[in-house]
Amino acid sequence: MTTVKFKKFDIEAYQPGKSTVKRLKNIIKLSANESALGVSVRAKKAISNKKLKFFRYPDGKSRELRSQISKKFDCNKEKIICGAGSDEVIQMLCQLFLKPKDEVILPQFSFLMYRIYAKIVGAKVVFAKEKNFKVSVSEIIKKVNSKTKMVFLANPNNPTGTYLTKFELINLRKRLRKNILLVVDDAYAEYMQNKDYKSGLDLFKNKQNVFILRTFSKIYGLSSLRVGWGYGSKKIIDALNIIKPPFNVNEVAQKAAIESLKDKKFITRSVKHNYFYATKLKDFLSNYDISSNKVSANFLLLNFNKCKLRAKSFYEKLKRKGIILRSTEEGYKIKNMLRLTIGSKEENIKFIKATQNIFRK
Ligand SMILES: *Cc1c(COP(=O)(O)O)cnc(C)c1O
């Protein structure tokens, strides 16, 4: 049989945080930055509603969801587009803006989907060095040339957990040419307690050349349902709506997202939980000379350079106990570090006990 020729891509497929260990049940998954408190009670109710009509197509424009988002975040619903995860919005943006040979600037260590979708449409991906695992505005500016079309940036950044301050982010926009689109990915914005931080949405709501990404996969606890949204100028949103798959966000996801937005208590509890345990785990790990970024989002990037164990060895020992962290070597290409998601109270305690056992020997 002949295989019909397909296009070849110079791409490493996305590798999600692992979730299984051979022969072990009851895995503690701290590898994908999911919600520590699970799904909100309100969203759960929406999901189990017996009146959902699965034989009908969902609202392709996610009207009610966009309306609720605009209320909650005080922004214009005509400038919102919903996607099957913010993932899909990144894909649509790349399809809309990038031609072969256009250039996209990404920080050296950044969310893997930016490079994957940019390369699929033939764009050239240019990496800007970071300083001490923090995005550098001046290094980004150094990489700008006449072919530069977009800059992607998660703030706070994944997997490093560092962030640009309000002033650094404003400065970046000022120094970029006006016809370069700055995409600010606010995936972890809700967790941020840092006084010098402002989300992309808060800073750039009315900017024509900034596009904001948000997700329901992290603090809202709906990773599996795939819902995210983008916010940009009316012109960009109208153009995205032309190329959007018609029924991209399913009905259950839309309903659950609407309810999770309304569950203020759940969000407040998640933020408090995260700050408390992130601080506790950071302190605890410093006893073993494992250092990490200042507390920011719902994960810590653990640095083993001063620790008596190598990151890889710690990873394997935890894995044998059924606890999975995120390797930063594959994909992100960061050596001797691991990314730890802040888990539930029980998960964090088990992680602490397992770590104590590993170092006792
Ligand atoms: C987790 C994450 C997302 C969310 O992706 P979804 O497709 O919405 O699940 C987006 N950006 C970054 C930087 C992330 O870490």
Determine the pLDDT at residue 21.
86
- The rounded Cα 123 to chain-centroid distance in angstroms is 22
Determine the pLDDT at residue 19.
86
Determine the pLDDT at residue 283.
98
Q: What CA–CA distance (Å, rounded) separates 30 from 19?
A: 9
- The CATH class of the 28-39+265-360 domain is alpha beta
Ligand 1 pocket: which residues have CB below 6 Å? Answer: 33, 85-87, 111, 154, 158, 185, 187, 215, 217-218, 223, 228
Residue 340 pLDDT class (50, 70, 90 cuts): very high
Mean pLDDT of 336-351: 98
Q: How many whole angstroms from 269 Cα to the centroid of ligand 1?
A: 21
Residue 330 pLDDT class (50, 70, 90 cuts): confident
Residue 2 pLDDT class (50, 70, 90 cuts): confident
Determine the pLDDT at residue 30.
98
Q: For residue 163, which of 68, 301, 317, 272 has the smallest C-alpha distance?
A: 301
Determine the pLDDT at residue 268.
97
User: Per-residue pLDDT tens for 243-271?
Assistant: 999 999 999 999 999 999 999 999 999 99
Percent of residues, the chain, with pLDDT higher than 90:
92
- The CATH class of the 41-263 domain is alpha beta
Residue 157 pLDDT class (50, 70, 90 cuts): very high
Q: Above 80 in pLDDT, residue 1?
A: no
Q: Above 90 in pLDDT, residue 218?
A: yes
Q: How many whole angstroms from 200 Cα to the centroid of ligand 1?
A: 15
The protein residue with its alpha carbon nearest to ligand 1, atom 6, reads 85
Atom of ligand 1 nearest to the CA of 88: 7
Residue 20 pLDDT class (50, 70, 90 cuts): confident
311 vs 2, residue with greater confidence: 311
Q: How far apart are the first and last CA of the chain?
A: 58
Residue 1's CB is within 10 A of a number of other CB atoms, namely: 2
Percent of residues, the chain, with pLDDT higher than 70:
100
Mutation choice for ligand 1 from 215, 299, 332, CB with most ligand atoms inside 8 A? 215
For 56, phi and psi rounded to 5 degrees? Answer: -95, 145
The protein residue with its alpha carbon nearest to ligand 1, atom 11, reads 187
Question: What are the residue ranges spanned by the domains of the chain?
Answer: 28-39+265-360, 41-263
Mutation choice for ligand 1 from 110, 112, 218, 231, CB with most ligand atoms inside 8 A? 218
Mean pLDDT of 215-227: 98
Residue 106 pLDDT class (50, 70, 90 cuts): very high
Determine the pLDDT at residue 16.
83
pTM of the complete model: 0.97
Token reading at 162: 């560092």
Residue 96's CB is within 10 A of a number of other CB atoms, namely: 16
Mean pLDDT of 58-62: 97
Contact, 351 vs 323, CB < 8 A? yes
Atom of ligand 1 nearest to the CA of 227: 8
Q: How many whole angstroms from 215 Cα to the centroid of ligand 1?
A: 6
For 59, phi and psi rounded to 5 degrees? Answer: -70, 110
Residue 361 pLDDT class (50, 70, 90 cuts): confident
Which run of H or E residues covers position 269? helix 264-286
**Sign, CA torsion 270/193/259/89:** negative
The mean of the pLDDT values for the chain is 96
The protein residue with its alpha carbon nearest to ligand 1, atom 3, reads 187
- The rounded Cα 186 to chain-centroid distance in angstroms is 8
Residue 165 pLDDT class (50, 70, 90 cuts): very high
Cα-atom radius of gyration of the chain, to the nearest Å? Answer: 21
